[in-house]
């Protein structure tokens, strides 16, 4: 293959180097960010020698080249030179809706653990107050211990501008400490006194719109966004010798007045408008809003779109001390737990029963991903039952006026957060959770689903790795059966490099791997953050971002393990390598460890593709139909070509 020729042809057909804003590559593909997608000729590129497929996703024009990507990248990079990361036509690169969602997600995701902890602490304090009043007739709110712990639960929300300033600065790539100073200025006691007093406030003789910015959300995000441009402009014009002092100084001198006079009031009005709109819908029909959030919340979770509305709840707590968004979302969580329990009670498959039992427990504590991906979404019908039941529960909560006094994860431990809303509201919250949970469970048991085969403990049969199975199951393929391989019929087996739920390759959200164009394989939704050697092998490739590994097994199989979807964007964050390229490994030796929870919280799908890249050398390749595998359990079944 002529890599130079391929590189020239790709460059020509993406619109030339003038049309490229950014070029990166991962283990299998070139990732272009184009200024104008209309200038790219997708059909021509698809037919260039070495190109496997062309995919347009996440604002990128991706050219899939498989294991040739390094060579083609080395050939094309000098032809492009240094590219500008700012497109002249952003609206064609990524839609504004996607951009805003990505920014919101990137800013708020790092704060979620702290917000959840504050909400949990507030829930514990609410229980303590109720117990003290009802059983001991004591008001503990005057107790020093309560005051200190209450301050700890409120601190995050009070100083929200400082917290969000740092997160926003990382997203907008500006000085984090200057951003935090702007946020701290908004919360400074003397400023708060000025803004809440009766005397008019002026700055350089200019009147300032008075507003209390403690606990605010939008003003600081707008301010840091503007800071990123101001800082870059000052840095560009400032002599090198003065930059270290004058860039931050002038940035503050410009941004503090600009924030208090212009961007702060604008952000404040925007925040009030968003809340007004949400509550306008709420007042129009609280039942409808509750049903909508309760039914659709876990669907939004699957696509990561729930992060777009989370700020509504955060802003509500910061401004008013209560929110109802997560009350309605709680109905969705309990419905997922109920559906998973129904799967546990209904299924005859031992492995699925284990997965569903575990998922039920975690969903009851507010972690729904195991229930969604391990049982309900996989089996389809239980997911539908959960949506219906969640909508019914959320509708009842809306009718009853349920709300919580903290932004807390929705599970059994945070139920007390919703007790302060009053008897009717709290009873409706409890009944809504019960309807969601028991309704989803009952619907799953009564109307059922297409179960997995029960005989997992016997001889494992195989499915064709593009998704076909030897018998009809819920993992049913989109195409007809091509290979039927039992363990006895295969020439050798390969162990699983991960522990988790087995997923047919054609059902994953990565079109390249799902199509089988990279080779046959199977996918796993990991239950543990470790990848081990599936057999005696050599590490042929270990990508710098550690999300992809190439192995050459002693039996000649060439394997690609691709951890997650689009996780190349993390640039190695949350991953740790245990070996180096060319390392000789024994079965079970650790290769990569990763923080699964952190990656999920960052908004990435951890579905891991395990591909046999030299599939054409074998007569048949299959995978187990066992729903859940542990490390080194038999996963792949290989039959050699005859002769």
Q: Which residues are part of the catalytic machinery?
A: 26, 562
H helices of 401-464, in order, are 423-447
Dist CA 82 CA 14 (whole Å): 16
Dist CA 323 CA 317 (whole Å): 6
Residue among 278, 298, 299 at smallest CA distance from 289 = 278
Note the Cα 584 to chain centre separation in Å. Answer: 34
Instruction: Say which DSSP state 239 is in.
Output: -
Q: CB-based contacts of 266: which residues, under 8 Å, 6+ apart? A: 219, 222
Residue among 26, 27, 58, 56 at smallest CA distance from 42 = 56
3-state SS, residue 81: coil
Dist CA 28 CA 64 (whole Å): 6
Dist CA 365 CA 362 (whole Å): 5
SS3 content of the chain, % helix, strand, coil (to 5): 55, 15, 30
Is 301:368 a contact under the CB 8 Å cutoff? yes
What DSSP assignment string belongs to 15-28? T-GGGEEEEEE-SS
Instruction: Say which DSSP state 519 is in.
Output: -
Dist CA 464 CA 415 (whole Å): 46
What DSSP assignment string belongs to 28-76? SEEEEEES-GGG--HHHHHTSTT--EEEEETTEEEEE-GGGHHHHHHHH
CA dihedral in degrees (189, 193, 196, 198; nearest 10)? Answer: -170
Token reading at 360: 């039920």
Residue among 523, 289, 258 at smallest CA distance from 397 = 289
Token reading at 20: 């490229």
Angle between helices 218-237 and 176-187 (to 10 degrees): 140
Angle at the Cα of 132 (from 129 to 136), degrees rounded to 5? Answer: 165
The helix or strand, by DSSP H or E, that contains position 552, with its residue range, turns out to be strand 548-553
Instruction: Say which DSSP state 461 is in.
Output: B
Q: CB-based contacts of 128: which residues, under 8 Å, 6+ apart? A: 140, 146
Other residues' Cβ atoms within 10 Å of the Cβ of residue 444: 31
Task: Using alpha carbons, list the distances in angstroms from residue 480 to 466, 508, 610.
Answer: 10, 18, 21
Largest CA distance in the chain: 94
């Amino acid at each position: 293959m002529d890599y130079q020729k391929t590189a020239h042809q790709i460059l020509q057909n993406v619109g030339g180097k003038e049309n490229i804003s950014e070029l990166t590559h991962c283990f299998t593909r070139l990732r272009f960010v184009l200024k104008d997608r209309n200038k790219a000729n997708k059909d021509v590129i698809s037919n260039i020698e070495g190109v496997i497929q062309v995919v347009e996703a996440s604002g990128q024009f991706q050219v899939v080249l498989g294991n040739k990507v390094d060579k083609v990248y080395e050939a094309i990079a000098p032809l492009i030179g240094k590219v500008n990361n700012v497109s002249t036509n952003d609206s064609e690169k990524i839609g504004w809706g996607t951009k805003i969602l990505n920014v919101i997600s990137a800013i708020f995701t790092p704060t979620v653990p702290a917000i959840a902890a504050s909400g949990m602490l507030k829930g514990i304090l609410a229980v303590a107050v109720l117990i003290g009043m009802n059983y001991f007739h004591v008001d503990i709110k005057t107790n020093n211990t309560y005051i200190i712990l209450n301050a700890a639960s409120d601190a995050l929300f009070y100083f929200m501008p400082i917290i969000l300033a740092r997160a926003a600065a990382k997203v907008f790539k500006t000085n984090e400490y200057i951003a935090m100073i702007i946020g701290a200025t908004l919360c400074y006691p003397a400023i708060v006194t000025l803004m809440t007093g009766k005397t008019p406030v002026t700055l350089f003789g200019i009147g300032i719109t008075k507003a209390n910015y403690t606990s605010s959300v939008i003003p600081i995000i707008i301010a840091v966004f503007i800071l990123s441009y101001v800082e870059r402009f000052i840095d560009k014009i400032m002599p090198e010798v003065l930059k270290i002092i004058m860039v931050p100084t002038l940035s503050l001198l410009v941004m503090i007045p600009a924030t208090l006079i212009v961007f702060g009031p604008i952000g404040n009005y925007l925040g009030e408008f968003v809340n007004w709109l949400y509550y306008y819908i709420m007042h129009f029909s609280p039942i409808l809003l509750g049903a909508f959030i309760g039914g659709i919340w876990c669907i939004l979770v699957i696509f990561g779109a729930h992060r777009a509305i989370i700020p509504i709840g955060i802003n509500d707590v910061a401004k008013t001390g209560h929110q109802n968004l997560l009350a309605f979302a709680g109905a969705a969580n309990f419905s997922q737990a109920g559906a998973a329990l129904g799967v546990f009670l209904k299924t005859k498959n031992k492995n699925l029963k284990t997965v569903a039992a575990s998922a039920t427990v975690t969903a009851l504590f507010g972690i729904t991903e195991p229930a969604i991906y391990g049982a309900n979404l996989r089996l389809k019908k239980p997911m539908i039952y959960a949506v219906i039941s969640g909508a019914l529960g959320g509708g009842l909560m809306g009718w009853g006026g349920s709300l919580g006094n903290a932004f807390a994860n929705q599970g059994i431990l945070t139920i007390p957060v919703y007790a302060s809303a009053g008897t009717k509201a709290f009873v409706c919250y409890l009944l809504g959770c019960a309807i969601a949970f028991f309704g989803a469970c009952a619907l799953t048991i009564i109307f059922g689903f297409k179960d997995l085969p029960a005989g997992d403990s016997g001889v494992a049969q195989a499915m064709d790795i593009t998704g076909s199975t030897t018998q009809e199951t819920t993992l049913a393929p989109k195409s007809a059966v091509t290979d039927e391989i039992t363990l006895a019929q295969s020439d050798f087996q390969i162990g699983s490099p991960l522990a988790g739920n087995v997923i047919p390759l054609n059902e994953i959200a990565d079109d390249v791997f799902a199509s089988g164009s990279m080779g046959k394989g199977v996918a796993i939704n990991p239950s543990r953050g470790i990848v081990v050697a599936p057999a005696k092998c050599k590490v042929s490739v270990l990508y710098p971002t550690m999300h992809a590994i190439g192995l050459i097994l002693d039996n000649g199989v060439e394997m690609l393990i691709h951890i997650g979807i689009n996780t190349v964007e993390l640039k190695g964050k949350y991953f740790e390598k245990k070996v180096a390229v060319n390392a000789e490994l024994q079965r079970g030796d650790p290769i990569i460890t990763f923080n699964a929870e952190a990656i999920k919280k960052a908004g990435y799908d951890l579905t891991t593709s395990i591909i046999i890249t030299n599939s054409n050398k074998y007569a048949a390749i299959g995978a187990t139909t066992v729903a859940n595998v542990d490390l080194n359990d038999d996963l792949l079944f290989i039959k050699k070509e005859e002769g």
